[in-house]
Amino acid sequence: MATDKTRTDELSQQGFKPEQIVLTIIILLLLIGAFFDRPISQTIMNQGSIFGTIFQNYGLIFPSIVIFMASQVFFYRIQKIETNIFGKFSVMFLALVACIYETWQAVKIALFYTVSSLNNIKNKAPIGAANNDGGGKVTLPTWYIPTLFILTIILVAIGCALCYQWLATKDEIEMKRLTYVALAGIVAVFASDTLVNSMKAFWGRMRPYEMNETWSNFTSWLQINGVNGHKSFPSGHSQEGWVALVLPLFVSPQRPTKRRNTFIFAVAFGSLMALSRVRVGAHFLSDVTMGSFISILVIYVLARLLNEKLMGEFLT
């Protein structure tokens, strides 16, 4: 059986370029979306989809996970750097604040969507029905705030414990590498999020669930409508789902199999998130394709700048 390195050499000789394949797939999906967004959504859209609801409610976790891990890297890295006590304390304090805030945000979003789904069940509406553009009013139950506090505290404690096990034994060389990865991870989260949100407002595209009975208000992703309160293109959930691609960079290059498996998990999660958004009627095919592409592109560029291979030695 050929080794990973042998397969890499063979694929390189055959002209196998992963970047070209990904770009080709993206272009093809956008072309398909330009002509078939409407019939695709009309065929598979179901706001009562459990699959779509689960990813909608609980899939927006990886930006917070990436920033949490990055903050923990800074927390432990500063302890090994010779600097004054005030500088160390400041970085450690800010790192902990970032961990708590990002956990709070992730839990808050998940709980908010959960309340929305419970209200849908109570009102006999499709479980996945949600106003993704923030215009809906949701009455929060009395258990919401206490649950938010408790879950945040528990998850921060678990996250810090896991990061301690991960980072406590790292040598100086690996901690230095992880510091650059942590910075890149934070840039990836905010850069991709800013790009998507800016495009959302500018494109002004209606979502599938906003279509009227005859779908006469449907517009192609090629049509820019301007700021009108509608934000279907591109998909924010898809963009945030593909942020999971940062995770392989946190894995040591000395563990190529683990990095490859993490990469495969990230690709699977991002793909399922994108599919779930079309299924639940929150986005069209072209929406999720562009949202996915933005995260993939940003993370790929940052990985190249760091001279890191997302999938270990399998990708050159």
Residue-wise over 99-118: b if at least 16 C-beta within 10 A, else e? Answer: bbbbbbebbebbbbbebbbe
Would you say 201 and 229 are in contact if contact means Cβ atoms under 8 Å apart?
no
Return the half-sphere exposure (C-beta side, CA atoms, 13 A cut-off) of residue 204.
Answer: 9
Q: Which tokens in the block code for residue 82?
A: 């010779």
Would you say 63 and 243 are in contact if contact means Cβ atoms under 8 Å apart?
yes
- Tell me whether residue 11 is in a domain: no
Per residue in 152-175, pLDDT tens? 999 999 999 999 999 988 999 999
Q: Which tokens in the block code for residue 315?
A: 């990708």
Indicate the number of domains in the chain. Answer: 1
The C-alpha atoms of residue 38 and residue 89 are separated, in whole angstroms, by: 55
- Tell me whether residue 308 is in a domain: yes
Q: Which tokens in the block code for residue 214?
A: 């005859």
* 24: containing domain: 17-314
Per residue in 256-313, pLDDT tens? 999 999 999 999 999 999 999 999 999 999 999 999 999 999 999 999 999 887 665 4
- Spatial CB neighbours of 260, under 8 Å, sequence gap ≥ 6: 4, 248, 311, 312, 314
CA proximity to 126, closest of 282, 231, 241: 282
In the numeric block, the tokens 């072309």 are attached to: 31
| Cα–Cα distance list, 117 to 49, 77, 129, 133 (Å) | 11, 41, 7, 16
Distance from the Cα of residue 34 to its chain's centroid:
24
pLDDT at 1: 42
pLDDT at 19: 85
DSSP state of 310: T
- Tell me whether residue 248 is in a domain: yes
- Tell me whether residue 6 is in a domain: no
Q: Where residue 137 falls among pLDDT bands split at 50, 70, 90? A: low
The C-alpha atoms of residue 176 and residue 264 are separated, in whole angstroms, by: 25
In the numeric block, the tokens 């894995």 are attached to: 251
CA dihedral 205, 209, 212, 214 (to 10 degrees): 100
The C-alpha atoms of residue 26 and residue 279 are separated, in whole angstroms, by: 19
Mean local confidence (pLDDT), 88-95? 91
- Tell me whether residue 275 is in a domain: yes
**Residue percentage of the chain with pLDDT more than 90:** 79
Per residue in 179-223, pLDDT tens? 999 999 999 999 999 999 999 999 999 999 999 999 999 999 999
Task: Please state the pTM of the whole predicted model.
Answer: 0.89
pLDDT at 11: 47
